[in-house]
Amino acid sequence: MNIIDYYYNCSPEYINSIDSNLYTQIKSIVGQLPKRKNQIR
């Protein structure tokens, strides 16, 4: 899963401007979500 797909027109820099660790936290949480067979890479 590409984390960028969750943030239409939002850059990691913009997300981090809201909170300095927000992008990292979201990326970590999304990385822990279960994946379907066709998403495993």
Tens-of-pLDDT digits for all 41 residues of the chain? 566 666 667 788 888 899 999 888 888 888 888 877 776 65
- Return the pLDDT at 23: 85
**Structural domain boundaries of the chain?**
1-28
State the pTM of this model.
Answer: 0.57
- Return the pLDDT at 33: 81
Whether the CB-CB separation of 15 and 22 falls below 8 Å is answered with yes
- Return the pLDDT at 26: 84
- Return the pLDDT at 13: 85
Q: How far is it, in rounded angstroms, from Cα 18 to Cα 5?
A: 19
Whether the CB-CB separation of 26 and 6 falls below 8 Å is answered with yes
Q: How distant, in Å, are the alpha carbons of 2, 27, 32 from that of 19? A: 21, 14, 21
Q: How far is it, in rounded angstroms, from Cα 2 to Cα 20?
A: 20
Cβ-proximal residues to 39 (8 Å cutoff; 6+ apart), any chain? 1
